[in-house]
Amino acid sequence: MSEDGFHVHGPHDHEIEHAQQGGHGGEHGGMINQIAMFTAIIATIGAIFGYMGGATQANAGLYKNNAAIKKTEASNQWNYFQSKSTKQSLAELARDLSSADTKAKYQDKVDRYEKEKNEIKAVADKLEADATQWDKQSDEQMHQHHRWAQSTTVLQVSIALAAIALLTRKKWLEVAMFGAGAVGIVVGALAAMHL
């Protein structure tokens, strides 16, 4: 500043002054910063949601595999049950065709096979119930996976809208970007709550 009150404004001073007042671009400078911050936050949330989607998909596959194993084990038990039924039928036939003094021996076998069949049936029923439970858990995980995937997709659309809003500087695109981000977060919250 000169002695008589006249101020000489150099280019460096001009840039410092603009930086203190929010930078170049006035309203657009604030919009750029806002969109950049929003994009970083949404990208981070989207990455977390994407991870959760992958985890639930892996769980669904694991649970479906467990269900298949239990179904196979149950099938093996039912085959074992059937073999005992066949042996029991043969023992009953032998009992019915045998003389009075050997009937008791065959009746003991019939009774033993009946007891063994009941034990085998209990194991097979338990394995089938386990398989059904694993299937149910797999379906729940797939539903949750779909929610995470929907959320991640909407957040990616929000990020794309942010890029377009930056390029075009259209306020309605910025509003759409915030709206899509909010929808993505809500859907992610639904996934977290298993809804």
- Residue 22, pLDDT above cutoff 90: no
The Cα-based distances of 35 to 15, 164, 194 in angstroms read: 23, 11, 31
Give residue for tokens 């929808």: 183
Mean pLDDT of 136-160: 94
Six-digit token pair at 36?
């950049």
The 10s digit of each residue's pLDDT in 42-91 is 999 999 999 999 999 999 999 999 999 999 999 999 999 999 999 999 99
- What is the domain partition of the chain in residue ranges? 28-192
Question: CA nearest 152: which of 40, 44, 36?
Answer: 44
| Of 3-12, 154-163, 166-175, minimum mean pLDDT range | 3-12
Q: Give the chain's end-to-end CA distance (angstroms, integer).
A: 67
Q: With bands split at pLDDT 50, 70 and 90, how would you rate the model's confidence at 13? A: low
pLDDT at residue 153 tops 90 = yes
What per-residue confidence (pLDDT) applies to 4? 61
pLDDT value at 21 more than 80: no
Helix axis angle, 27-97 relative to 171-192, nearest 10°?
A: 30
pLDDT of residue 29: 64
Query: How many other C-beta atoms lie within 10 A of the C-beta of residue 95?
Result: 17
pLDDT computed for residue 150 by the predictor: 94
What whole-number distance in Å separates Cα of residue 104 and Cα of residue 110? 10
pLDDT band at 27 (very low <50, low <70, confident <90, very high): low
Axis-axis angle for helices 100-168, 171-192 (nearest 10): 160
Can you tell me the distance from the alpha carbon of 191 to that of 157, in angstroms, rounded to the nearest whole number?
18
Q: What percent of the chain is predicted at pLDDT more than 70?
A: 85
Cβ–Cβ < 8 Å for 63, 138: yes
Residue 185 and residue 45 in contact, taking contact as beta carbons nearer than 8 Å: yes
